């Protein structure tokens, strides 16, 4: 990770991409239940986005570089996991 600003940009970019894909999938559904499920995925991802940005702004153990690095690595891992989970849920909706 280069710096906190780049991490926050990555969080925004990845979550926006998943949200755009979810909106595209939701627009193709005729069934209201499937649209609601797609919109719930967007809501969950938006909450996760806000939580990850908050964690990025407030690192743990500021005086210890090793702890800070672990903190940011856990944010990256959580970001990728939440995006993958959202895509899996979208994939289940389309099949």
pLDDT tens per residue, range 4-16: 999 999 999 999 9
Q: Calculate mean pLDDT across residues 36-56.
A: 95
pLDDT band at 80, cuts 50/70/90? very high
Cβ atoms 68, 59 nearer than 8 A: yes
Cβ atoms 76, 46 nearer than 8 A: no
pLDDT(28) > 80: yes
Contacts of 60 by beta carbon, 8 Å cutoff, 6+ apart: 67, 68, 71
Q: Calculate mean pLDDT across residues 35-42.
A: 93
Can you tell me the distance from the alpha carbon of 36 to that of 5, in angstroms, rounded to the nearest whole number? 33
Residue 79: CB atoms within 10 A of its CB come to: 20
pLDDT in tens, 68-78: 999 999 999 99
């Amino acid at each position: 990770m280069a710096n906190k600003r780049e991490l926050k940009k990555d969080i925004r970019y990845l979550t926006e991409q998943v949200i755009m894909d979810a909106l595209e999938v939701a627009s193709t559904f005729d069934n209201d239940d499937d649209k609601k499920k797609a919109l719930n995925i967007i809501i969950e991802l938006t909450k996760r986005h806000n939580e990850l940005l908050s964690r990025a702004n407030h690192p743990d153990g500021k005086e210890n570089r090793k702890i800070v690095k672990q903190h940011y690595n856990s944010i990256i891992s959580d970001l990728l996991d939440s995006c993958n989970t959202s895509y899996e849920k979208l994939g289940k909706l389309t099949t």
